[in-house]
């Protein structure tokens, strides 16, 4: 006897799948709206200056979003780079030294772009050409770049670090200018990612590198492109770091490498990369992560936790949120076979 499937039950299953997929897709946006509401409430309840705190959100969020947007090209390949924070620090350090030596803004920007892209290309060469595991490469690069930047700061600066005149990038220290730069950078990356063969092939490589290789797609070529895009993002992040904080010290941008990983997951992008990668994940996740951290810090201060204790508790809560988001985001593509 042949079993005949009921068409109505199939339609119901399809509708349930589409509804669940839509709900999980919209979840990061809803979470961002909730976090923003909570942030505004806790700031207002404590009678803090809301405008000042929103400026802090934009300052921190801008740097994270700019760097994370370029890094998505790397994560789409199923790879990662935790040395981006060290690259941002070195880029900002060299930028300060260049301007203090030449007093030339355009040369400073050019050098910062060259350093950002150069650091990323070096990581790409070590990982792709010499076939060194990505984890080993990024950890080594993080240590080396941090050491170089620290040595430059110690040998050329005072105890407070290296300083740049506020007027150099001060014109960029405006919320609207930062929003415009974020929008332009995301639109450029969105076009490359969704409407060119670069984005399509990187998603293919991230989904199944073996099949992609059989079709003639070069992993090395698109890895280089991905790291170049990340390098541009690093340079932009360093420039906007100097726009609101013209002093560079050894702790500048120290956590960006790991923050990017958390931010893109908060934005609804799977850490495995592939076709489910989204450029806008950096925007949603970046500001969500900043709002979460600032809100937790304020709440913990309200209940009497000191700054050192609040930092540790904030990291624990953020890690729990990270695990929860990864679990929820994976619900819409769980199958018997692995995605990669």
pLDDT in tens, 203-212: 988 888 888 8
Quote the pTM value. 0.88
pLDDT at 335 over 50: no
Cβ atoms within 10 Å, residue 103: 11
Token digits for 211?
């099949």
d(CA 187, CA 226): 16
Angle between helices 256-266 and 307-329 (to 10 degrees): 40
Q: Cα–Cα distances in Å, from 248 out to 97, 150, 203, 280, 306?
A: 10, 10, 36, 29, 26
What sections of 175-306 are H helices per DSSP?
175-195, 197-207, 209-214, 219-244, 256-266, 281-302
What pLDDT shows up at residue 210? 82
* Range among 20-24, 181-185, 278-282 with highest mean pLDDT value: 181-185
d(CA 38, CA 41): 5
What pLDDT shows up at residue 324? 74
Token digits for 194?
């969704």
C-alpha 325: how far from chain center? 16
d(CA 58, CA 41): 17
pLDDT at 186 over 80: yes
- Closest by alpha carbon to 239, among 84, 94, 74, 141? 94
Counted residue by residue, the chain has a size of: 340
- The answer to whether the beta carbons of residues 94 and 152 sit under 8 Å apart is yes
Q: Cα–Cα distances in Å, from 239 out to 55, 88, 185, 299, 327?
A: 17, 9, 14, 31, 35
Top pLDDT among 12 and 279 is at: 279
Residue corresponding to tokens 């890895």: 223
Angle between helices 219-244 and 197-207 (to 10 degrees): 110
Give 158's pLDDT tier (boundaries 50, 70, 90): low
d(CA 253, CA 137): 19
Q: At residue 161, what are phi and psi to the nearest 5 degrees?
A: 105, -165
What pLDDT shows up at residue 338? 45
CB contact set of 166 (below 8 Å; sequence gap of 6+): 246
Lowest mean pLDDT among 61-70, 108-117, 266-275: 266-275
What pLDDT shows up at residue 159? 63
Q: What CATH number belongs to 60-325?
A: 1.10.3470
Token digits for 69?
């947007």
Q: What are 14-33's pLDDT values in tens digits?
A: 677 677 667 777 888 888 99
- Residue spans per domain, the chain: 60-325
Backbone region of residue 333 per phi and psi (left: phi > 0; alpha: psi in -120 to 50; beta: other values): alpha
Give 274's pLDDT tier (boundaries 50, 70, 90): confident
- The answer to whether the beta carbons of residues 278 and 128 sit under 8 Å apart is no
- The answer to whether the beta carbons of residues 124 and 108 sit under 8 Å apart is no
d(CA 314, CA 50): 21
Angle between helices 50-76 and 175-195 (to 10 degrees): 20
pLDDT at 64 over 80: yes
Average pLDDT (154-178) is 84
Give 161's pLDDT tier (boundaries 50, 70, 90): confident
pLDDT at 216 over 70: yes
């Amino acid at each position: 006897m042949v079993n005949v499937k009921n068409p109505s039950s199939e339609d119901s299953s399809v509708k349930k799948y589409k509804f669940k997929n839509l709900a999980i897709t919209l979840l990061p946006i809803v979470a961002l709206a909730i976090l923003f509401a909570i942030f505004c409430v806790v700031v207002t309840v404590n009678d803090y200056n809301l405008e000042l705190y929103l400026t802090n959100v934009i300052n921190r969020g801008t740097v994270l979003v700019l760097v994370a947007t370029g890094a998505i090209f790397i994560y789409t390949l199923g790879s990662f780079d935790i040395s981006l924070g060290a690259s941002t620090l070195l880029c900002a350090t060299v930028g300060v030294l260049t301007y203090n030596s030449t007093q030339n803004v355009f040369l400073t920007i050019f050098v910062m772009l060259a350093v950002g892209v150069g650091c990323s290309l070096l990581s790409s060469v070590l990982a792709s050409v010499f076939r060194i595991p990505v984890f080993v490469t990024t950890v080594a690069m993080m240590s080396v770049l941090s050491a170089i930047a620290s040595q430059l700061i110690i040998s050329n600066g005072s105890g407070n670090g290296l300083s740049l005149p506020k007027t150099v990038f001060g014109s960029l220290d405006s919320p609207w200018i930062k929003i415009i730069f974020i929008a332009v950078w995301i639109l450029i990356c969105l076009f490359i990612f969704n409407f060119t063969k670069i984005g399509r092939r990187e998603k293919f490589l991230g989904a199944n590198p073996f099949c992609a290789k059989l079709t003639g797609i070069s992993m090395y070529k698109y890895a280089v492109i991905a790291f170049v895009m990340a390098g541009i993002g690093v340079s932009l992040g360093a420039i906007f770091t100097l726009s609101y904080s013209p002093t560079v010290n050894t702790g500048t941008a120290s956590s960006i490498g790991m923050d990017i990983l958390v931010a893109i997951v908060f934005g609804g992008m799977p850490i495995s990369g592939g076709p489910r990668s989204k450029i806008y994940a950096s925007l949603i996740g970046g500001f969500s992560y900043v709002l979460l951290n600032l809100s937790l810090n304020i709440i913990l201060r309200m209940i009497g936790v000191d700054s050192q204790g609040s930092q540790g508790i904030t990291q624990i809560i953020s890690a729990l949120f990270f695990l929860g988001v990864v679990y929820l985001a994976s619900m819409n593509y769980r199958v018997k076979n692995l995605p990669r």
